[in-house]
């Protein structure tokens, strides 16, 4: 039996024509945690739309501080504009007294976090794999 309060919703942002669009899937778990899967290439063309989609999907209509698990295992490319968008998103969550934990960041995400000296930040809790919503 799935631990989902609502079925996953899929959202998409645009990217440069030669790169796949950023895909965002949001799952609200029965525990109140919001599991967000992000996939694709997060570059300067996709970053603003992705940030808006993340904010809309996770902060709109909330009555309590958000607790987010951000699965970045499907991110194939991340540039500085994409990192800035993720940091702005994290700031918005923190301003709402929420928390963000990174799940299974892809090698491109880890590399850029390391280059920016952000791989030890306290808000970045790395979990090895995203939870399986169908597991009990």
CATH code at position 80? 3.30.750.24
**Any domain includes 43:** yes
**Any domain includes 135:** no
Task: Using alpha carbons only, give the angle 28, 30, 31 rounded to the nearest 5 degrees.
Answer: 100
Q: What percentage of the chain carries pLDDT values higher than 70?
A: 72
pLDDT digits (tens, 9 = 90+) for 93-120: 989 898 888 888 899 998 998 888 886 6
**Any domain includes 1:** no
Parent domain of 32: 14-58+65-127
Indicate the pTM of the whole model: 0.72
Order the strands of the 99-103 sheet from edge to edge. 9-13, 22-28, 34-42, 67-78, 99-103, 126-127
Sequence-distant (6+) residues with CB within 8 A of 60 are none
pLDDT recorded at residue 21? 76
CA distance 30 to 61: 17
pLDDT recorded at residue 16? 44
Number of domains into which the chain is organized: 1
pLDDT recorded at residue 32? 84
**Any domain includes 5:** no
**Any domain includes 96:** yes
**Any domain includes 132:** no
């Amino acid at each position: 039996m799935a631990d989902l309060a609502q079925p996953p919703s899929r959202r998409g942002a645009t990217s440069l024509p030669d790169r796949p669009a950023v895909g965002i899937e949001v799952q609200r778990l029965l525990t109140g945690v919001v599991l967000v899967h992000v996939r694709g290439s997060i570059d300067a063309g996709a970053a603003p739309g992705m940030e808006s989609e993340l904010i809309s999907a996770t902060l709109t209509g909330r009555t309590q501080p958000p607790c987010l698990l951000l699965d970045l295992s499907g991110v194939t490319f991340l540039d500085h504009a994409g990192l800035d968008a993720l940091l702005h998103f994290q700031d918005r969550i923190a301003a709402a007294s929420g928390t963000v934990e990174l799940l299974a960041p892809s090698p491109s995400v880890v590399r850029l976090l390391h280059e920016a000296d952000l791989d030890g930040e306290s808000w970045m809790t790395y979990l090895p794999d995203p939870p399986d919503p169908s597991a009990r």
